Amino acid sequence: MDIVEIFKNKKIQAKEIPAWGAYLRNRWDEEFAAHLTHQEKESIFLYDDGGLCGYLWHIFSYEKKKCLEKEKAEKAFNMEPKKFCYLFYQHYDHALLIKNASVIKAMDLIEEEDVYIVDKEFTWTFVVTHEKGWCGPYFTRKDKE
């Protein structure tokens, strides 16, 4: 079952915002990785460069930003008050604007890969990677350097 169907079943309003992925990834980088230089970002493969597949979540796996991991990250995300959120992907420009997101739980995202959820102000983020059981999920707040 895809994420839109899961949200519909939970009566969560999710508006598709096609082509917003690049904007949201850039904003995520500005809000959560601003403390790194461009060279530092390149060294941890934050971007798609030279045929290498980059991931924003490398900021966590390379320990360049403090975060909660695995069950602690899931618990923090589940407990986080959520109203309006963005959901976007690492390698797709498709994104969602989610209203009444308070009932979204980490378990709803178990089938997703390289997906990011942020509140509308980008003060926190929850990330589910494709490296199930090895890297992630991750949760952090913007003010935790």
Give pLDDT tens digits along the chain (145 positions): 588 888 888 888 899 999 999 999 999 999 999 999 999 999 999 877 655 578 999 999 999 999 999 999 999 999 999 999 999 999 999 999 999 898 999 999 989 999 999 999 999 999 999 998 899 999 999 874 4
Confidence (pLDDT) at 52: 57
Confidence (pLDDT) at 50: 56
Confidence (pLDDT) at 2: 81
Q: CB 94: neighbour CB atoms within 10 A?
A: 13
Tokens (6 digits) for 93: 């420009």
Start-to-end C-alpha separation, the chain? 36
Stated pTM of the model? 0.92
Alpha helices in 15-143 (DSSP H): 21-32, 38-43, 58-61, 70-79
Tally DSSP H helices, then E strands, for the chain.
Answer: 5, 7
Q: Where does residue 119 fall: left (phi above 0), alpha (psi -120 to 50 degrees), or beta otherwise?
A: beta
Confidence (pLDDT) at 88: 96
* Under 8 Å between Cβ of 114 and 128: yes
